[in-house]
Amino acid sequence: MPVLPPRLVVAGTHSGVGKTTVATGLMAALRAVGHRVAGAKVGPDFIDPGYHALATGRPSRSLDPWLSGPELVPALAGRAGDGADVLVVEGVMGMFDGSGDGTPASTADVAVALDAPVVLVVDAWAMAQSAAAVVRGFATHDPRVRLAGVVLNNVASDGHEAMLRKALAPVGIPVLGVLRRDDRLVWRERQLGLVPVAEGGPEVRSGMSVLAAVVAAGCDLAAVVGAARSGVTRVVPEVPMPEPVAGAPVRIALATGKAFSFTYPDNVEALTAAGAELVPFDPLDDAALPDGCRGLVAGGGFPEVFAEGLAENGSLLDDVRRRVVDGLVVWAECGGLLWLAGELDGRPMAGALPVTARMTDRLTLGYRSGRTTVDSPLGPTGTGVRGHEFHYSVTEPAGDALDLAGVFGAGATGFATPTLLASYLHVHLASRPDLVRAFVSACTAVSSP
């Protein structure tokens, strides 16, 4: 059975306080001094884990109790921390903010599930003595949570730091780090929040080095490791994996590259366990789908940013359209849906779906659960699904293959046939081996191309 390594959760008082800067900087700084560091992220995010992977040199995992079920979070954390001597988990939103439907899915809930101490990031730019009230409130709000220390971000000066330390001393929560207001970190934070690693160039690695150095200078790394080691030893179960399907292995094309970087590592591993031989390709560069593939997985990303380049790759778009018509088994999520459309913001896409797509200024965001309304590669009509939406685009028509509901939205969406499912829904497959097996089985049933 896996054992969780020494671990800590980096939480924030609210969104935008610098959680990603602190968590990723700690990962990079600890690695630089010789630790085997692993990273994980609370919530459904794809972008922050990309930076964690760059900082640690290994995949970061998503710990999302809503998507996978709370009971699976310790096992996923065990997979994330396998072989590491410290696991740094970045929180989401404010420490106690959750899904809104009662699921124990907040950063605090994950910390409790992992028996992990918490390091609280406080944006101190406009505070002095009031910081003590904030930290005291977070330390006492939920007795299940153990606050092991504070990192003060956006500190203005030595005098400001002295005031903050004096105010916090009676609270009894150690200050593990102080980060000055720094334009280099503002740039890092902006990039971390908006731009996937796959889109970056050499400046991304150099920026990570700067971040590691700044965090190492501003934080007591020995005290941070000490906090991580203060947690109890925890044995966790293995993540359940699907059994290989009859007829496997089967080659399945996997969209990758700058435009399609949103794929959970756990999904890749689940598909592989079920018998998929995943063959990466880049929709911006490759002239055709990989040879011998009977299926296609096109996940999310930012195809709208690269719409011109995608449109110019006409030979691949023609090949995809032809192959879909011929019965290629397809699972497309969000960006993959846009790529399969007839056009995106007036630029031609694959035309495998009779829809047009366009970007808007309205964000659609939230967890969704529901059922398929027609047969699809995931199973027969009525197959249950759970996932997350995050997009500014719309398709016309919207489709009706999935009947979804959530706290912040509901309705029909998506497109499906017995060999295709394309929607905005991102699904985490660690808890759904049945969906994985159904999709891989559908691929094995396709005649060789």
Does 290 lie in the same domain as 218?
no
Question: For residue 283, what is the domain's CATH number?
Answer: 3.40.50.880
DSSP 8-state code for residue 391: E
Q: Note the pLDDT of residue 191.
A: 43
Q: Which of 219, 293, 334, 443 is catalytic?
A: 334
Q: At which of 183, 205, 235 does a domain end?
A: 235
Query: Closest Cα partner for 116 from 90, 97, 79?
Result: 90
Helices marked H in 169-302: 183-194, 202-218, 221-229, 265-273
| 240 in a structural domain | no
Does 183 lie in the same domain as 293?
no
Does 338 lie in the same domain as 196?
no
Average pLDDT over residues 161-167: 98
Q: Note the pLDDT of residue 153.
A: 97
DSSP one-letter string for 141-206? S-TT--EEEEEEEEE--HHHHHHHHHHHGGGT--EEEEEE--HHHHHHHHHHHH--GGG--HHHHH
Radius of gyration of the chain (CA): 23
| 413 in a structural domain | yes
- Report which secondary-structure segment, H or E, holds 336: helix 335-340
Q: Scanning the structure block, which residue is given the tokens 């790759």?
A: 313
- Report which secondary-structure segment, H or E, holds 348: strand 347-348
Does 219 lie in the same domain as 158?
yes
Indicate the SS3 state at residue 228.
helix
| 345 in a structural domain | yes
Tell me how far apart the alpha carbons of residues 93 and 11 are, in angstroms, rounded to a whole number: 8
Lowest mean per-residue pLDDT among 70-74, 114-118, 186-190, 216-220: 186-190
Q: Note the pLDDT of residue 189.
A: 47
Burial state string for 270-308 with b = 16 or more CB within 10 A and e = fewer than 16: bbbbbbbbbbebebbebeebbeebbbbbbbbbbbbebbe
Average pLDDT over residues 238-267: 96
Q: Would the pTM count as exceeding 0.85?
A: yes
Please tell me the number of Cα atoms within 13 Å of 416 on its side-chain side. Answer: 27
Does 321 lie in the same domain as 220?
no
What would you measure as the largest C-alpha separation in the chain, in angstroms?
Answer: 72
Share of the chain above pLDDT 70, in %: 97
Does 205 lie in the same domain as 294?
no
Phi, psi of 344 (to 5 degrees): -130, 115
Query: Closest Cα partner for 79 from 35, 40, 48, 31?
Result: 40
Question: For residue 231, what is the domain's CATH number?
Answer: 3.40.50.300
The three-point CA angle 267-328-288 to 5° equals 90
Tell me how far apart the alpha carbons of residues 229 and 34 are, in angstroms, rounded to a whole number: 16
The two structure tokens encoding residue 359: 């970007």
Does 376 lie in the same domain as 290?
yes
State the total domains in the chain. 2
| 408 in a structural domain | yes
Query: Closest Cα partner for 228 from 441, 77, 448?
Result: 77
Does 202 lie in the same domain as 261?
no
CA–chain centroid gap for 246, Å, is 31
* Helix, strand and coil in the chain, % to nearest 5: 35, 30, 35
Quick check: 193 pLDDT over 70? Answer: no
Encode pLDDT of 7-42 as tens digits.
999 999 999 999 999 999 999 999 999 999 999 999
Lowest mean per-residue pLDDT among 88-102, 184-198, 253-267, 336-350: 184-198
Average pLDDT over residues 147-163: 97
Does 136 lie in the same domain as 254?
no
The two structure tokens encoding residue 20: 């990603």
Q: At which of 184, 207, 235 does a domain end?
A: 235
The two structure tokens encoding residue 145: 């949570």
* Domain extent at residue 321: 250-444
Q: At which of 177, 212, 235 does a domain end?
A: 235
The three-point CA angle 23-25-30 to 5° equals 100
| 310 in a structural domain | yes
Does 63 lie in the same domain as 14?
yes
Encode pLDDT of 270-316 as tens digits.
999 999 999 999 999 999 999 999 999 999 999 999 999 999 999 99
Angle between helices 202-218 and 183-194 (to 10 degrees): 120
Please tell me the number of Cα atoms within 13 Å of 205 on its side-chain side. Answer: 3
- 334 part of the active site: yes
Q: SS3 for 62-76, per residue?
A: EECHHHHCHHHHHHH
Does 44 lie in the same domain as 132?
yes
For strands 175-180 and 147-155, give the pairing.
parallel
Tell me how far apart the alpha carbons of residues 73 and 16 are, in angstroms, rounded to a whole number: 25
Does 255 lie in the same domain as 213?
no
- Report which secondary-structure segment, H or E, holds 443: helix 433-444
